[in-house]
Structure 1
């Protein structure tokens, strides 16, 4: 499509041209997490950076020419924000915050709560709204949750019943000095299901037309509405003149991607006098004060009173460029709403129609709507995947498998436990027991007793296309639709009582292969014998590759690492890196302890980097080689000698009151990872069945082993028997080496990377997710996305060799 024809077309007919011009970085990627954060446009960032380079913007508090320019710009941006919601500065004020969450907190902290005040909120509210109840309780007020009566429409307030969550401890009306104020809070659009609650509720609440069967509510009380618009405004028009909510919170990165960490609280002028209960005052909020006496005079304007300290003025300036882009695309937001709804409706219709061969549904959708009306449903679809027998596939597994296809989704409860419990039909008391038992929001637990405790969310933005929807649909069809019910679920050899299998007489166990991985996420070196040290195999994961920002690269982030083959020459004391089509590069194993070569690396997005790691830069020669190979500036870093400890081993020792923690290098979890030949062969057999069902490619045995990146491969047991081992002894000619179990290895999309091409597929993670968990006596595992076991060794100086005998602990 030519640029000329693009200009002649209106959105969304010109979307192809918009994608080419503004979002070319989306090539080969399916981004469906716009409710989490939408994407910024190229020209938006170009205009912002040009603005920064063309002008001098000073602190708006300073009063000099650059300050005046910034002050005028911020004032203009406030007007732009209000105009977007069809109001003016005479009707509303804009209080800039760090995001929607801080906007809610500022409201809660400054609202004139009295002992007679009530905070009423919908069950389907974001965590940040529900959290207001804690501040309400501190002010001796009532917090009341409105939950939907079973089987009733979610769009009629009469169908909700109240439950007191925080009870008042005092009665009264604050001595009558100030009128009692109450807040009713609800989302314009659920961030869990995407359903849009009626904006007419604003009028109903403010006109005391609640009729909620709450006898404890006085119809003469003053009600104010807090509208959480964070999930609504990115793809829908909010007209505050037509629907005058008193308080509105939102985050700007959800509207146009940049800047992050900036939101606002919109306050209706008629409600300003309810925000006078401010305690702390910071720079810029004081019209005058004395340090030596209790005197403080606040600023006149509301936003001046509430915006403590210097506002993020350069980020606020960036908003103008975001609104400019959005207005060029669709100032009215009507076309954006129609387009995004058409996408999500198509996705819904296709998913609910998917069936396995036995006519069982593939997808369970969680919603209050049938996706037929755009005024009731936004661009979100939340679902789980079911097998042909009705059992659920863990949402974390689906997320990881989608990641292997570069499809970006989100899983969990999305900081909305109320909607999650309601729509998944969970028992609140059971959920409470789960949390009390150690489960936390966002952890790996996703299915308990075949009941999912979260879901998968796909959400669209104005730049989403039908190709994105087709990509997700194709992924689900290829990955989960069972067209032949020769299901591995009925395969009897996976179910066994592990306790009866653990003895040394039923088979002969031996160490078949040893693998060392000098560089994290690069290829392995297979060896016949190797020395052990206090952190595991000598030189195992001693090096890592980092970006110019010090971010550790892993296979999940950079697939090309699978093509780098390291080689260790112990006689020459060198490490060599090579890859097909590239010359090799060599670095010494021992680097001079030179402070100039030291690079502090904080790879906070890697599991290995829950710890800060200090290492040594291996020099410019290998940096040039890596930069040429990967296409961006990269460094090879060798870990220093500062100890780092295994988290899974620490958990075991904490539980047993022990203190001898095991040191590790740059491994994710533990010193050693073990696979068994029989488990790999079992997975390979099931992959062949998957090939029949999903028309996928099977993998050779050695390729499966290389993808799961084990250190030790043991042969001579039953499939998955290793998961019940407590430990074992390796017996060689010289000594006995003792290994102990410290956890199961959870798997992610990195096992889908082809170590010959660097490309990602669906296997073996897809087939792994179809395997039922084994039954270890009374301990039924919750899911099957683990493969292999973690070990630690109590011997600090020893050696092992292929052929060593394995004797299990009793």
Structure 2
């Protein structure tokens, strides 16, 4: 037989034995009410019993007072980042920045958030500019979640015990929170996965590709999107790429032409179009209108929103894609190991899984061949036991992010434009040659008000250059940044098509031998491949950008750069690289 599921015994339904009396719930939003400074969170289904309905002792009045003290967030002050809070040199730069970008001050609430929930950044002196790799978690989210785990007893959802009922309620509430956050209309459900990659793999392995099918995708996509082509070709489908522009992303007319050329015909073999909402290397945002166009041509549609969701509003009501993949750690930092496929139930029902597992079935004949899948569609795709201990943090994290999301496009686009302008103006002190080469797409739209969306992300992909104009090795840049407490990333960012477009290596990419390795490719090109990526996010402020610019000025100074170079060569890692 298969597993016994607790979803049929959710809170409020009859049990085989009566549960213990439940105390009145403590509203979860109290932990965030001061933190959000009155910003209304995304509404979640009010009729759903809160998973905060847990048993407590009758003598818990003292512990309740202690709990309130421990969960009240630090006081917030409605102050923008001001010169007196900045280190020497930054104050003058900040004043000049505000003259060109006065609207930045409208995002003061994020400065308050930086002091309350991300104070560890300033205590440690670390400049974190790798939000595309992973967002930083707010400290209050960890406190709230740790407190809930400390007080609660959670069990495997594949049972009907009280602890399992509580876990099932957490999972149900988290699903509804995800649907509400992305403004999903009726007909959508949520499949929890390990990450966005896991969500994309679910679609790839179960999509009914066949002879005559097409899989269309952009070259500027993550490897997890490229990987679906293995499932497509194994079933006889054709794989067709939309080339990247020199600065990343797709050209709309070219994309429409490729989609039209390879659309379903004749026997109507199922075709899939995968769109990258925002590139993790080129900073390009692709127009979501391409999803509607592809659907009109008969395609099923898949949106990789891993890089888009952390700082952009996504409405599935406005853009009813068949399936969308996200990772929550990229949105609000915690927890890692949980992602989601937000998907139409009608699309999910058409997928054909190549196997079954614990949690996905109702009856299994053993020995034999009979398998009856569970009646719940989303459970058919959640192999084994879901990450039930961390799902409550998804609900709280989405509520947290919903309060600050309207401010992020204005703030991040302002900082990104300033960073690009400042770096582009830097010159070497010996030759006057540029210090950096900006490769990624630059914002063309000036965001001026809260709630307005930007036309690009907050990623800057670049190369550092020697005074001669040759590329400085990325491994040296990474070493030098580490010495100055700057967390950035170098490489191809698991996006070979986007990297090849930015670096002008599309022809070299097409000429790769079948047994190619990165080392051989680099030896052939005579240099390290990849870029330096600086990405901003939820907790970024002017100080972070200023420190990156100051670091770049060091690279422009021959004496300072040479000293770092000698240190790097003397380091064992430097010699090996």
Instruction: Compute the TM-score of the two structures, normalised by the length of structure 2.
Output: 0.75
Matching residue of 1:205: 294
Q: Is 1:283 the counterpart of 2:358 in the alignment?
A: yes
SS at match of 2:192: strand
Matching residue of 1:363: 436
Matching residue of 2:145: 48
Matching residue of 2:564: 765
- Contact residue 213 and residue 237 of structure 2 kept, 8 A: yes
Give the drift of 1:435. Answer: 8.9
For 2:362 and 2:489, locate their aligned partners in 1 and report how far apart those are by CA, in whole Å: 46
Matching residue of 1:124: 220
Compared with structure 1, are the counterparts of its residues 309 and 440 closer, same or farther at alpha carbon in structure 2 (3 Å cutoff)? farther
SS at match of 1:313: coil
Give the drift of 1:349. Answer: 1.1
Compared with structure 1, are the counterparts of its residues 347 and 788 closer, same or farther at alpha carbon in structure 2 (3 Å cutoff)? closer
Q: Out of 371, 374, 384, which is 1:309 matched to?
A: 384
Matching residue of 1:60: 157
Matching residue of 2:456: 377
Alignment deviations for residues 314-345 of structure 1 (CA, whole Å, 9 cap, x no partner): 12222122123223x42xx2211211111111
For 1:283 and 1:153, locate their aligned partners in 2 and report how far apart those are by CA, in whole Å: 40
Give the alignment's Cα RMSD to 1 decimal.
Answer: 3.2
Compared with structure 1, are the counterparts of its residues 310 and 153 closer, same or farther at alpha carbon in structure 2 (3 Å cutoff)? closer
Alignment of 1:596-675 (within 5 A): none
Compared with structure 1, are the counterparts of its residues 225 and 193 closer, same or farther at alpha carbon in structure 2 (3 Å cutoff)? same
For 2:332 and 2:228, locate their aligned partners in 1 and report how far apart those are by CA, in whole Å: 27
Matching residue of 1:478: 554
- Contact residue 36 and residue 254 of structure 1 kept, 8 A: yes
For 1:368 and 1:4, locate their aligned partners in 2 and report how far apart those are by CA, in whole Å: 36
SS at match of 2:303: strand
For 1:151 and 1:22, locate their aligned partners in 2 and report how far apart those are by CA, in whole Å: 35
SS at match of 1:314: coil
SS at match of 2:243: strand
Give the drift of 1:236. Answer: 0.8
For 1:146 and 1:69, locate their aligned partners in 2 and report how far apart those are by CA, in whole Å: 46
For 1:447 and 1:363, locate their aligned partners in 2 and report how far apart those are by CA, in whole Å: 24
Matching residue of 2:495: 416
Q: Is 1:248 the counterpart of 2:327 in the alignment?
A: no
For 1:160 and 1:429, locate their aligned partners in 2 and report how far apart those are by CA, in whole Å: 26
Compared with structure 1, are the counterparts of its residues 454 and 432 closer, same or farther at alpha carbon in structure 2 (3 Å cutoff)? farther
Matching residue of 1:79: 176
Q: Out of 468, 488, 492, which is 1:389 matched to?
A: 468
Alignment deviations for residues 495-543 of structure 1 (CA, whole Å, 9 cap, x no partner): xxxxxxxxxxxxxxxxxxxxxxxxxxxxxxxxxxxxxxxxxxxxxxxxx
Aligned residues: 468
For 2:575 and 2:283, locate their aligned partners in 1 and report how far apart those are by CA, in whole Å: 40
- Contact residue 192 and residue 416 of structure 1 kept, 8 A: yes
For 1:81 and 1:145, locate their aligned partners in 2 and report how far apart those are by CA, in whole Å: 31
Compared with structure 1, are the counterparts of its residues 789 and 352 closer, same or farther at alpha carbon in structure 2 (3 Å cutoff)? closer
Give the drift of 1:428. Answer: 3.9
- Contact residue 361 and residue 388 of structure 1 kept, 8 A: yes
Q: Which has the higher contact order (CA 8 A, sep 6+)?
A: 2
Compared with structure 1, are the counterparts of its residues 116 and 480 closer, same or farther at alpha carbon in structure 2 (3 Å cutoff)? same
Q: List runs of 5+ in structure 1 lacking aligned partners.
A: 209-221, 483-689, 695-761, 772-783, 791-810
Matching residue of 2:315: 239
Matching residue of 1:800: none
Alignment of 1:525-604 (within 5 A): none
Matching residue of 1:426: 505
For 1:473 and 1:96, locate their aligned partners in 2 and report how far apart those are by CA, in whole Å: 40
Matching residue of 2:53: none
Q: Out of 545, 551, 557, which is 1:469 matched to?
A: 545
Q: List runs of 5+ in structure 2 lacking aligned partners.
A: 1-73, 82-104, 447-452
Q: Out of 269, 276, 283, which is 1:194 matched to?
A: 283
Q: Out of 382, 404, 407, which is 2:486 matched to?
A: 407
Matching residue of 2:412: 340
- Contact residue 191 and residue 231 of structure 1 kept, 8 A: yes
Give the drift of 1:301. Answer: 2.4
Compared with structure 1, are the counterparts of its residues 197 and 61 closer, same or farther at alpha carbon in structure 2 (3 Å cutoff)? same
Compared with structure 1, are the counterparts of its residues 325 and 787 closer, same or farther at alpha carbon in structure 2 (3 Å cutoff)? closer
Matching residue of 2:195: 99
For 1:431 and 1:29, locate their aligned partners in 2 and report how far apart those are by CA, in whole Å: 40
For 1:235 and 1:766, locate their aligned partners in 2 and report how far apart those are by CA, in whole Å: 36
- Contact residue 59 and residue 70 of structure 1 kept, 8 A: yes
For 1:24 and 1:128, locate their aligned partners in 2 and report how far apart those are by CA, in whole Å: 34
Instruction: Compute the TM-score of the two structures, normalised by the length of structure 1.
Output: 0.54
Give the drift of 1:417. Answer: 0.3
Q: Out of 157, 161, 184, which is 2:273 matched to?
A: 184
Compared with structure 1, are the counterparts of its residues 110 and 435 closer, same or farther at alpha carbon in structure 2 (3 Å cutoff)? closer
Q: Larger C-alpha radius of gyration, 1 or 2?
A: 1
Q: Out of 349, 369, 373, which is 1:298 matched to?
A: 373
Compared with structure 1, are the counterparts of its residues 232 and 453 closer, same or farther at alpha carbon in structure 2 (3 Å cutoff)? same
Give the drift of 1:151. Answer: 9.3
Compared with structure 1, are the counterparts of its residues 317 and 186 closer, same or farther at alpha carbon in structure 2 (3 Å cutoff)? same
Q: Is 1:143 the counterpart of 2:239 in the alignment?
A: yes
SS at match of 1:13: helix
SS at match of 1:411: strand
348-357 vs 305-314, which moves further: 348-357
- Contact residue 147 and residue 161 of structure 1 kept, 8 A: no
For 1:262 and 1:234, locate their aligned partners in 2 and report how far apart those are by CA, in whole Å: 15
For 2:201 and 2:109, locate their aligned partners in 1 and report how far apart those are by CA, in whole Å: 40
Give the drift of 1:8. Answer: 11
Matching residue of 1:36: 133
- Contact residue 94 and residue 264 of structure 1 kept, 8 A: yes
Q: Is 1:26 the counterpart of 2:121 in the alignment?
A: yes
Alignment deviations for residues 757-796 of structure 1 (CA, whole Å, 9 cap, x no partner): xxxxx77324567x9xxxxxxxxxxxx9889979xxxxxx
Which has the larger share of strand?
1
144-153 vs 227-236, which moves further: 144-153
For 1:433 and 1:56, locate their aligned partners in 2 and report how far apart those are by CA, in whole Å: 55
Give the drift of 1:20. Answer: 2.3
For 2:126 and 2:537, locate their aligned partners in 1 and report how far apart those are by CA, in whole Å: 14
Compared with structure 1, are the counterparts of its residues 149 and 34 closer, same or farther at alpha carbon in structure 2 (3 Å cutoff)? closer
Compared with structure 1, are the counterparts of its residues 324 and 447 closer, same or farther at alpha carbon in structure 2 (3 Å cutoff)? farther
For 2:545 and 2:387, locate their aligned partners in 1 and report how far apart those are by CA, in whole Å: 37
For 2:510 and 2:212, locate their aligned partners in 1 and report how far apart those are by CA, in whole Å: 32
For 1:152 and 1:54, locate their aligned partners in 2 and report how far apart those are by CA, in whole Å: 48
- Contact residue 148 and residue 159 of structure 1 kept, 8 A: no
- Contact residue 147 and residue 160 of structure 1 kept, 8 A: no
Alignment deviations for residues 720-739 of structure 1 (CA, whole Å, 9 cap, x no partner): xxxxxxxxxxxxxxxxxxxx
